[in-house]
Amino acid sequence: MCESQKQKCMLVIISGPSGVGKTTICKEVAKRTDALQSISITTRPKAENEIDGAEYRFVSRDEFQKQIDQGRFLEYAEVFGNLYGTPRELIDKALKEGKTIILQIDVQGAIQVKKIYPKALTIFILPPNQRELAHRMTERSRDTPETIEQRLDGASNEIAAAWQYYENMVINDELEQAISEIIQIVNYKAMEKNE
């Protein structure tokens, strides 16, 4: 993974159901730990307030398929009818340069990445409860009621799988507390790695 054992590079996988606060948490953890944040590629439509290349790169389904065919993804999955993938080149380059990089991906993707990078640190963000998760999804005004229902059903499956595959679980009840907990986990793992 890293060229030298003394480097503090690490692959950090952060996942959680839609609406749990992953994007906000990942941005803050990256900023406060000086880590890089991977930008996923997706076929889902861009929301009005999103900027292409900031949180996601938005591409057509044909373009996404072309990148699959070229082997350019570290992992990819179809989620609620849209494709999401992590560009392999960026991850490999960052790790080779000794950097810590955060992947904000779903459970399917995390399982794929752990096969390639078994020492990747996995953190799953949990909502305080199902009712709060539904409220957060509704508040962000991005999805139809039908899509919210689908996402809530999917959240239960994701959470069940996370208990099996993730090393760390963090409840996002209070945002600042969740960010602090994740930073502590990342710093502890980095310290442990370099002892």
Q: Where are the beta strands (DSSP E) in 139-181?
A: 168-171
> Which pTM does this prediction carry?
0.85
Q: DSSP string spanning 72-139?
A: -EEEEEEETTEEEEEEHHHHHHHHHTT-EEEEE--HHHHHHHHHH-TT-EEEEEEPS-HHHHHHHHHH
Residue type, 4: S
Predicted pLDDT at 5: 45
CA 103 → CA 30, 111, 142, 146, 150, distances in Å?
A: 10, 12, 22, 28, 24
E strand or H helix that includes residue 13: strand 10-15
pLDDT profile of the chain (195 residues), mean per 10: 57 92 93 93 89 90 97 91 92 91 92 94 89 73 72 81 94 95 92 68
**Up-side HSE of residue 185: CA atoms within 13 Å toward CB?**
23
Predicted pLDDT at 2: 57
Full set of structural domains in the chain with CATH:
10-193 (3.40.50.300)
